[in-house]
């Protein structure tokens, strides 16, 4: 469990200073359905090969540790100018909690 404060002092490139930012998790960001992995998955499903699209995450990686964590999609908004941006290096964790 990773807890991050809702209001953070971060660098804003528009204001060129450190200002207060609000954090928001954008979970419902719609992913493009035309990525290569999605097209491959669709093809395999239509073809009907064995048990390829492993719905159970426990079967995804045999013998290795299963990845539970994922990169979170955090969006930072500057309080002064209102510019919203996403950092290049997002947090990778299984559980995320934004504290008030």
* Window of 29-37, 64-72, 81-89, 91-99 that interacts with Zn ion by CB under 5 A: 81-89
For position 84 contacting Zn ion by CB under 5 A, the verdict is: no
For position 12 contacting Zn ion by CB under 5 A, the verdict is: yes
For position 96 contacting Zn ion by CB under 5 A, the verdict is: no
For position 21 contacting Zn ion by CB under 5 A, the verdict is: no
Contacting residue, 7, 42, 80, 97, with Zn ion by CB under 5 A = 80
Q: Are 7 and 20 in contact (CB under 8 A)?
A: yes
Strand-by-strand arrangement of the 74-78 sheet: 7-12, 17-25, 74-78, 84-85
Q: Mask 54-73, x = binds Zn ion (CB under 5 A)?
A: --------------------
Provide the strand spans (E) within the chain: 2-5, 7-12, 17-25, 70-71, 74-78, 84-85, 92-93, 96-99
Rounded distance, CA 77 to CA 81, Å? 9
**Smallest gap from residue 18 Cβ to Zn ion (A):** 10
- The residues binding Zn ion (CB under 5 A) are 12, 14-15, 78, 80-81
């Amino acid at each position: 469990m990773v807890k991050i404060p809702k209001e953070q002092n971060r660098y804003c490139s528009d204001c060129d200073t450190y200002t207060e930012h609000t954090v928001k998790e954008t979970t419902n960001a719609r992913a493009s359905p035309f990525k290569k992995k999605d097209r491959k998955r669709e093809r395999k499903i239509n073809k009907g090969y064995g048990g390829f699209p492993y719905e159970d995450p426990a079967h995804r990686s045999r013998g290795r540790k299963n990845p539970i964590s994922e990169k979170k999609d955090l969006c930072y908004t500057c309080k002064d100018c209102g510019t919203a941006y996403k950092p290049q290096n997002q947090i990778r964790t299984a559980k995320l909690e934004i504290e008030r």
